Amino acid sequence: MSVSVSSTSVMEQVMTANGVEPIELLTASNDNFDGVIIDMKNPMDSEIFVSSLRTSISHWRQQGKKGVWLKLPIELVNLVEAAVKEGFWYHHAEPKYLMLVYWIPETANTLPINATHRVGIGAFVMNDKREVLVVQENSGVFRGTGVWKFPTGVINEGEDISMGAIREVKEETGIDTEFVEVLAFMQSHKSFFDKSDLFFVCLLCPLSFDIQKQELEIEAAQWMPIEEFAAQPLARKQGLLRSMIDIGLAKIDNGYAGFSPIPTTPSFSNHPIYLYLNSRDLNQQRISD
Amino acid sequence: MSVSVSSTSVMEQVMTANGVEPIELLTASNDNFDGVIIDMKNPMDSEIFVSSLRTSISHWRQQGKKGVWLKLPIELVNLVEAAVKEGFWYHHAEPKYLMLVYWIPETANTLPINATHRVGIGAFVMNDKREVLVVQENSGVFRGTGVWKFPTGVINEGEDISMGAIREVKEETGIDTEFVEVLAFMQSHKSFFDKSDLFFVCLLCPLSFDIQKQELEIEAAQWMPIEEFAAQPLARKQGLLRSMIDIGLAKIDNGYAGFSPIPTTPSFSNHPIYLYLNSRDLNQQRISD
């Protein structure tokens, strides 16, 4: 439901015609938590914006509203300072917009927090000769060190972990793969400014074998015997890499069960989303039931 | 390494003394990816800021720098519009600051993306009588529906998943628990504006049994026989809740193996962080080696 609808162009025409500033409510929609969302789209003078904002908040206060979300596209950057001076603060930002918030009641705010995690993947891809797919990067902490590592990457906004792992392996090495399982995951903090990382170790099955490395970020890529890879000083020293090798081999040789993606359709979504679980153990139970 | 150091107060004194605007470089530090980070702390006039910013970028261009990070605390909101007009765009924001970025080279930018996921937990807590700990919420989509659900919550910034699960159960129900395993997880998209959710189904073992429900968000909390809980219409209809019950029972009754948190110390961190893996299967392999 829209609380009220006003149009900047109408407002400006009225001002020109009679010189009186009409104070109209800002267009807003309700959320599910007694809050309102102002999704600003059209340019507006910052003084008119402040008048409308004050009148709107007064109106919403009478209605018992709590949180006020203000989404300002980057083209409306002229309104940011005005909003902050009215008591708004930053909630989150993306390249093309800034989301500010305001809390009307006297009580402590219960607004949801911003996204806190980036999601990365590391890919364990082994061929029939027990060679793993490895790369050398030409930026970051391992640049110029000669260290071989598993392909890694960051999941894009809106991308499934399994799809992101397939994409990263393809981009870095040219190898096509099928996603099998998440073998393990790791959570680390303050990895990027104050944000945390969730890093998923993924097992993928190679569908092609001819390497074509990416020019921009990858120095070299190859199939390397797993024993040679595991003998690198870094693999013997660094806990995570050592664990990735151990778990990958436990999967290949000893039937270690990770979490495989099962499509499901929850009530709040109309497209399938993936539940990752130990399907081997769950299926064994169903068989034994 | 600091690229250059300048002070606003010195700059202003010089201006007052001789009327000539000194164009000094902005204070910045280098990052590991040929970029610089400007961490603005002191108030500055926006015109002086623009002059310094232009001179600084010109200097960094000559040095071959690529990305420019500009962190503006909310008190310096007067500089946001100026920065955007100079070609900066938003990268991310937190309540107290806005991070903007600029890319100097002609090539496409390779700046890392913003955090993309919020992390939530659902808690499967069962006592010796095969009763699970369940709650009714007084906000959100289930408000007023009488639906019983597992305790759920959102992980705080910088919080471990296992600690967050223990905290949420304690806050909502007063029950103390020990974290056992992640039984499954689910990734969903566009759950909060354009952000994604990672939802971890956690098994916790109760250490206390007297419920003291939270007043603010929880309508009711109780121990409920698992069969009664599973018989709710929602549990029979909704895939995720159904799966949580199935997997929880598979764990309790049939030895389903989830991922347990193993402390590890990676090279990039000096405090232990948790790798979640199928430790039962991994230990079996080690015993058989």
What is the model's pLDDT at position B216? 79
Of B185 and A112, more confident: B185
Structure confidence by residue, pLDDT tens digits, B43-78? 999 999 999 999 999 999 999 999 999 999 999 999
Which of B153, B126, B124, B142 shows the shortest CA–CA distance to B225?
B126
**Dist CA B256 CA A10 (whole Å):** 64
What is the model's pLDDT at position B7? 37
Angle between helices B46-62 and B8-18 (to 10 degrees): 110
Q: How far is B220 from chain A (nearest CA, A)?
A: 19
**Range in A4-8, A80-84, A271-275, B154-158 with the lowest mean pLDDT:** A4-8
Say which of A24, A47, A75, A171 is annotated catalytic: A171
Mean of pLDDT values over B76-86? 97
Whether the predicted pLDDT of B152 surpasses 60: yes
Whether the predicted pLDDT of A16 surpasses 50: no
Number of H helices, E strands in chain B: 8, 14
- For chain B, what is the mean pLDDT? 87
What is the model's pLDDT at position B18? 52
In chain B, which residues have their Cβ closer than 8 Å to the Cβ of A141? 32, 268
Across the interface, whether the CB atoms of A253 and B116 are under 8 A apart is answered: no
Structure confidence by residue, pLDDT tens digits, A58-94? 999 999 999 999 999 999 999 999 999 999 999 999 9
Of B180 and B14, more confident: B180
Model confidence at B266, pLDDT cuts 50, 70, 90, reads low
Of A9 and B87, more confident: B87
| Sign of the CA dihedral running B81, B86, B89, B91 | negative
Say which of B47, B157, B168, B171 is annotated catalytic: B171
What is the model's pLDDT at position A217? 82
Q: Within a 10 A sphere around the Cβ of B235, how many other Cβ atoms?
A: 18
**Dist CA A7 CA A11 (whole Å):** 6
- In this prediction, does ipTM exceed 0.90? no
Of B185 and A234, more confident: B185
Structure confidence by residue, pLDDT tens digits, A238-283? 778 888 999 999 999 988 999 999 988 766 666 778 999 999 999 8
Model confidence at B268, pLDDT cuts 50, 70, 90, reads low
Bridge partner residues of A73 (DSSP): A97
Q: Which residues contact A55 (CB under 8 A, 6 or more apart)?
A: A23, A24, A25
| Both structure tokens of B84 | 């955007």
- To the query of whether residue B171 is one of the catalytic residues in this protein, the response is yes
- At residue B52, φ and ψ (nearest 5 deg) are -65, -40
Whether the predicted pLDDT of A51 surpasses 90: yes
Q: Are strands B273-277 and A2-4 parallel, antiparallel or unpaired?
A: unpaired
How many A-B residue pairs are in contact by the CB < 8 A criterion?
269
- Closest residue of B to A264, CA-based? B239
Whether the predicted pLDDT of A15 surpasses 50: no
By Cβ distance, the residue of A81, A92, A278 closest to B77 is: A81
Percent residues over pLDDT 70 in chain A: 88
Whether the predicted pLDDT of B9 surpasses 90: no
In chain A, which residues have their Cβ closer than 8 Å to the Cβ of B187? 160-161, 273-274, 276
Model confidence at B193, pLDDT cuts 50, 70, 90, reads confident
Model confidence at A13, pLDDT cuts 50, 70, 90, reads very low
Mean of pLDDT values over B250-267? 88
Domains and CATH numbers, chain A: 28-103 (3.40.630.30), 117-261 (3.90.79.10)
Structure confidence by residue, pLDDT tens digits, A151-206? 999 998 889 999 999 999 999 999 999 999 999 999 988 777 778 999 999 999 99
Structure confidence by residue, pLDDT tens digits, B87-130? 999 999 999 999 999 999 998 888 888 889 999 999 999 999 99
In chain B, which residues have their Cβ closer than 8 Å to the Cβ of A214? none
- For chain A, what is the mean pLDDT? 87
